[in-house]
Structure 1
Amino acid sequence: MKNLILALGLSLVLVTSVSAHHNWAAAYDVNGDIEIEGVVSEIVWRNPHVIMYFTVDQGTPNEKIYSTESNSVAALARMDVTQDLVAVGTKVRVAGYPSRTKDDDIFMNHLLLQDEQREIVFLRTAEPRWPEESTRIGSADYAHGLNAQEDFSERPTSIFSVWTTIFDGEGSHRAMRFPSDVYNIDYAEQRGTGNCVSKDVWGQMGSPYPMQIVDNNDGTITVHIEEHDTIRTVHMNIDHDDPGTVKNNLGYSTGRFVGDTLLMTTTFEGSNSPIQIHESFTLSNDHNHLNYSQVLVNPESDELPTVNAKWWEFQPNSYLQPYDCIDHPQFDGQL
């Protein structure tokens, strides 16, 4: 592995923003609006997007089935929107963005439980659609960082905690950038299939969902990102000599502390790639943020390293949950 000395003052490489695995804004008309009434006929409550089917004019010659997708389970759980709120056979009213290609497909933003007079708001930026006839279910306070820990004594004293991306927070949400094609890796093993294939680990660090750093007290640290159940093992205080045993996009990582800052190096010998990632994690002075930097290097390219940075925030009662992604044909436009 070639050694590389990273000089201070590297110019930032301008690259395109990281996009989601499934570009729903391209599949649906976000300036359009469609509303239907019917009954729930099927529910698939899984990441990367909740899927529901609704039957309109059931039992009549005009009967029609609509497919919908919406926010992720990972996001909805933090909005207090859970699967037990709705069941097959429930009478509902649905509103959202119409498909650009089909007349029976919707990106669902609102669902009115007609018999209960309650409205589920699926999109964190949306306001209730039927406020005069229902009460709202779903809050975006967590996503927008409105549950902050005001008591300094209750904040973390180290990087070892659960940390949350703040949506629309400058430098936190959508802060990470894609590098150029010189950083493409043909991994020996994939993590996930179809729409559940996980991102390159440098992109995974920009996930909008929580992450956690854990000291395993056995010479290793775990960096756990909820999205795609990404669990990175960091071997502490040893020379970085990649044995080539990690053949997927997690790579092989070593780390050490310089003061209170965790420094990590990750390589990909298991996929015969020269790519290196150099990362740092530092607790902010107010103990409320985890500051992160990332330098992506290809020693075999003349291109400048790609430099990224972001931060996470501490919020009380934060947690990680299994991502449990399902590769459903709805996401491929097959239904």
Structure 2
Amino acid sequence: MLEQMLAESIVADNVALICTMKACSSIKDIGKGEEIHAEAARRGLIEDPSTDNVLIDMYVIFGFLQKAQEVFDRLQFRSIVLWTTLLAGYTEQSDSDNIYKLLECMQLEEISRDSVALICSLQACCIIGATSIAQEVHSEIERKGLLEKELLVGNTLIDMYSKCGSNSRAPEVFTKLPIRDVVSWTSLIEGYAQVGESEDVCRMYEEMLRDVVEPDPVTFIIILGACGRKGLYKTSELYFESMSECHGILPSLPHHIRMVGVFCRAGNLEKALAIVQKIALSSKFSCGSCAIQMNVM
């Protein structure tokens, strides 16, 4: 169909151009997308903002970020959608240099960000450990009153501070949230786990239960890892058993792998081996994924 549209010169206006580029994205045909881009440029059809949006989006989807940047750089007006799309692309590829450049450029141009752009900016800061820029983003969130209005923004901010080791800031944000879900609690718990504060991990977990928030599988992955690294094998066993008995969560491969680590560190190789044998016999767990996770345990 795309070949026919080009052959018959159907890409004659912006609407047709946008449709064909979106089609290229959906069928993962970058070659055809570039061909249509060139044809549209020849016909003078790429000066419309909506066309630029789709072009940048197409190149980001394919991971052709240099091409996306070229389109972005020639624009006189850049909507917040374009900034966010390009930043998300660099974040997806963990391109630290370009993430930093784009975040700095947003600051210099005093770009006002919506919730999506703020979340994307925090995730980008987390990738490169840019806590100074993250604090500017945090200030913008506070000015706009988004901590009180949008839980996802608050959760992302807690997650960023936790992963960057800013444990004093994460609880500050947490206390300002009017509503806290399992993601809020788990992100805060992860922050304590990152710095080896197993007592705080356990304390926050108990507080979460008192707040009548049910843990999820990710919560237990973090808790088991934190307790295991401190050699708290009895505590780890209790948490592991409580997953199914108290919370209806069936332990998955990552949970079993962490328990293997717990028992190995405690010197209880018999129990560690029993779990490994259980994993090997279970059809739910593939040998390949088990080997990979054992290597990173």
On whether the aligned pair clears a TM of 0.5, the verdict is: no
Between Structure 1 and Structure 2, the one with more helix by share is 2
Larger radius of gyration: 2
TM-score, normalization: structure 2? 0.28
TM-score, normalization: structure 1? 0.25
